Structures are given as C-alpha cells and as structure tokens.
Amino acid sequence: MSAAAVGSRKKRVVLGVTGASGAPYAKRLAGLLRGRDDVEVAACLSSTAPEVWALECGGDIREELGLLGLPVWGARDYRAPFASGSAGWDAMVIVPCSMGTVARIAHGTSETLLTRAADVMLKERRTLIVVPRETPLSTLHLENLTTVSRYGALVLPAMPSFYAGERSLEGAIDTVIARVLDHLGLPHEVGRRWGDGAQAESRRP
C-alpha cells in the first residue's frame, strides 16, 4: 500500500499487552489512543496479561479496554484482521513486553495471536515496537532483543527520563509513552521535549 493511501485513512495499530510488570504503561497508552480521529486500535493479550493488569492497575483488562472502545481479540482468534499481512495494519506496539514474548518473536514461533501479529509486522516490514520491562537483563535476553532489532523491530525499553523535572509516577510513565507515540508517527502533546522551555535546574548532592 502506498504512503498516500495510508495517509488518506486512519492509521491502524495493534496494542499487545503481556504479563511483564508495567501494565500502567499499557493503560496510559490505551487511554491516549482512545477516540483519536487519526488512529484505529485493536488489542490482543498474552495469557498472563489479565493477572498482572489486575495486580498493578486493578480491574479486568478486557472490560477496561472495552470501555475505551478497543476491541480485544482472543489469544488464538486468528480471524483478527491483523493476523494477516494482507489486511494492511500499519503498526504494533507490545507494552509491556515480557522476555518470553521477545524470545518467541525472535524465533518466529507465532503460537498465539499476539506473536503472530508481531511476526506479520516483521515480514511485511511494518512498524513493530517492543517495550521490554525487565531487570537485570541476562545475556540471553540481550541476544533475543538484538535479534528482534536486527529483524526490524524497534526496542524501546520502559526507561523513564527525568530531565524535565518529573516528580510523579504518572509523569515518569508519560516520558516513555511519549516516545512510543513518536515512533508510531502519531502527533501528541504528552510530556516535555528536550529544549522546549526551561529544563529542570541542576541539583548538586
């Protein structure tokens, strides 16, 4: 599909959520994507995503995403349009992304809708953003992250920045989500960019 054709319709984005710690990142991104005129969003989950979401955000992830207007497809429901490259979905972001999911993407197992969707993005040379949240990283983790990067994914770790003087948890989360929106090619006004206005004063110990 040509760039002109993509520009004439909504950008279609898959939101993948896994069971890694970091569900508040996914919740914030889903909230910001809600109701935008320039984007269509659908979600898919790993088997452990609901459990971690309930622990870190409270509530039921499927119900909450549904209330935001995001359809949630079943873990093995390959009727989902983004399960095929011919449907022309533009991008996928997996946030948070577990190391197990990274490994499955790196080795092309595609045993669930989430990993199949990621595989589609790679084979179609479309945008795949993985937001890993793990520490420390083993050599195996690093090798798998290097592999998915080599295959075309953007590895965007959930590493908040603090140069804008953020003091709240919500502000720190936004420093990561702002970068996700940037790399999805979606205009936004989340957070403060480097060089925009006064930066936080230097503090000496």
pLDDT per residue over 92-120, tens digit each? 999 999 999 999 999 999 999 999 999 99
Average pLDDT of the segment spanning 164-172: 89
Q: What is the pLDDT of residue 204?
A: 39
Token duo for residue 14: 């898959």
Task: Give the Cα separation of 52 and 35 in Å (integer).
Answer: 25
What pTM, to 2 d.p., does this model score?
Answer: 0.91
The single residue listed with the structure tokens 């420093």 is 175
What lies within 8 Å, CB to CB, of 19 at 6+ separation is 46, 47, 48, 49, 51, 52, 98
Tell me what the pLDDT averaged over the chain comes to: 92
The single residue listed with the structure tokens 């279609």 is 12
Cβ-count burial of 177 within 10 angstroms (0-12 exposed, 13-18 middle, 19+ buried)?
A: buried
Which CATH architecture fits 8-184? Answer: 3-Layer(aba) Sandwich (3.40)
99: helix, strand or coil: helix
Angle at 11 between CA 62 and CA 185, to 5 degrees: 105
DSSP 74: -
5: helix, strand or coil: helix
What lies within 8 Å, CB to CB, of 70 at 6+ separation is 15, 30, 33, 34, 41, 42, 43
pLDDT for residue 4 is more than 60:
no
pLDDT for residue 71 is more than 80:
yes
